[in-house]
Amino acid sequence: MAHPSQLGFQDAASPVMEELLHFHDHALMIVFLISTLVLYIIVAMVTTKLTNKFILDSQEIEIIWTLLPAIILILIALPSLRILYLMDEINDPHLTIKAMGHQWYWSYEYTDYEDLGFDSYMIPTQDLTPGQFRLLETDHRMVIPVESPIRVLVSAEDVLHSWAVPSLGVKMDAVPGRLNQTAFITSRPGVFYGQCSEICGANHSFMPIVVEAVPLEHFENWSFIMLQDA
Amino acid sequence: MAEEEDGQAKEFKLLGILDVQRTPCARDAILHGAGGSVAAGVLYFLATSRVKRSFDVGFAGFFLTTLGSWFYCRIHHAKLRVQQRLIQEGIKNKVMYEGTALDPTKNPKSEAPSGPS
């Protein structure tokens, strides 16, 4: 999860997010080099004693500053498109979960085998126990088996919402009357936090998402208990 | 926060954006770039004795050496990550399928023909 005054990404918990982190490092290095180049040029321009009021054109520099940006853009675009198509791959999901956005909570439905559904409300600050995270914890978590491809169908019952979990590299708009699909695989067990990412009213900031990835056996026990409680 | 810094390398961001300690290949690329920059600048100066142009050549050397080292290291790193994933899958499969017909390390038995001779 995020820590206070964090600027960078959270640690990746899915292969897609790992790829995104690597692409970000790649793009950032290119940005760093361009920034260094611009800084150097500024210093050179400020300190030069050379002035020529009669320069009209220069073929060499124009070729350089046309070709170099084109090459750099290609070097950024190729890995970017690779990840874009990677994210669109359909990986035969083991489980499909419907995430429905409401004002102001999420509800999850596991309807592959039995009819399991529950609401997920944020735990108010005054009800938190020591060790829990303010504005991030929910009463019921979306539990999934680890290392299994999961498909999430996202929609909304009232206004626009967005289902986002940064450490899994997932964000999908919840649009009323529309079913959006996203898929992910968690690489490791753990608890991953996200928050609603589309303004949806007064409590937009208070409808978090908590995904808990557990071994399959634990997932089966959990779903059995949830069905019994329903 | 102090425990994080002890456990991991303390972050050091060039120009406030590039964390050379935590980004794979960044530190090596910058160091190679610095070396290439010095080498290119000094060689050009020795050849031409032009100071300002030597700095320009040095900077170009830094840019190109850093970029080249970065790409070379990242491609190699990406190949290693793919291998690591394959090895992890292989270890997981071995543990799961050990002793069964799906064991990838099991030598296929040469089957003797059965039936009436």
Q: Is A35 on the interface with B (CB under 8 A)?
A: yes
Q: Is B23 on the interface with A (CB under 8 A)?
A: yes
User: Rounded to two decimals, what is the model's pTM?
Assistant: 0.83
Is there a domain that residue B56 lies in? yes
Please check the confidence at residue A82 and state whether its pLDDT lies above 70. Answer: yes
Whole-angstrom distance, CA of residue A110 vs CA of residue A98? 7
Query: Is B17's CB within 8 Å of A22's CB?
Result: no
Is there a domain that residue B81 lies in? yes
Alpha carbon separation from A15 to A20, A169, B81 (Å, rounded): 9, 9, 11
Is there a domain that residue B18 lies in? no
Q: Looking at the partner chain, which of B15, B52, B56 has a beta carbon nearest the beta carbon of A32?
A: B15
Average predicted confidence (pLDDT) for chain B: 81
Interval B19-44 mean pLDDT: 91
Q: Looking at the partner chain, which of B14, B59, B78 has a beta carbon nearest the beta carbon of A32?
A: B14
Class of domain A15-88: mainly alpha
Chain B partners within 8 Å of A35 (Cβ): 15, 17
- Burial of B105 from C-beta contacts in 10 A (0-12 / 13-18 / 19+): exposed
Closest residue in chain B to residue A3, using alpha carbons only: B1
Q: pLDDT (tens digit, 9 = 90+) per residue, A129-182? A: 999 999 999 999 999 999 999 999 999 999 999 999 999 999 999 999 999 999
Q: Is A64 on the interface with B (CB under 8 A)?
A: no
In the CATH scheme, what is the homologous superfamily, with its name and number, of domain A95-229? Answer: Cupredoxins -  blue copper proteins (2.60.40.420)
Q: Looking at the partner chain, which of A26, A31, A33 has a beta carbon nearest the beta carbon of B63?
A: A33
Is there a domain that residue B73 lies in? yes
Is there a domain that residue B113 lies in? no
Please check the confidence at residue B8 and state whether its pLDDT lies above 60. Answer: no
Distance from CA of A158 to the nearest CA of B (A): 40
Q: Is A24 on the interface with B (CB under 8 A)?
A: no
ipTM field: 0.75
Structural domain spans, chain A: 15-88, 95-229
Q: How many domains would you assign to chain B?
A: 1
The string of DSSP letters for A145-158 reads ETTS-EEEEEEESS
* Residue B115 confidence (pLDDT): 47
* Residue B108 confidence (pLDDT): 60
Given this chain, do its domains A15-88 and A95-229 carry the same CATH topology? Answer: no
Tokens of A230: 């329903």
Q: Is A130 on the interface with B (CB under 8 A)?
A: no
Q: What are phi and psi of A56, to 5 degrees?
A: -105, -40
Q: Is B29 on the interface with A (CB under 8 A)?
A: yes
CB atoms within 10 A of CB A141: 20
What's the DSSP call for residue A5?
A: T
Distance from CA of B102 to the nearest CA of A (A): 20
Angle at A186 between CA A159 and CA A99, to 5 degrees: 20
Chain A partners within 8 Å of B70 (Cβ): 29
Q: Is B40 on the interface with A (CB under 8 A)?
A: no
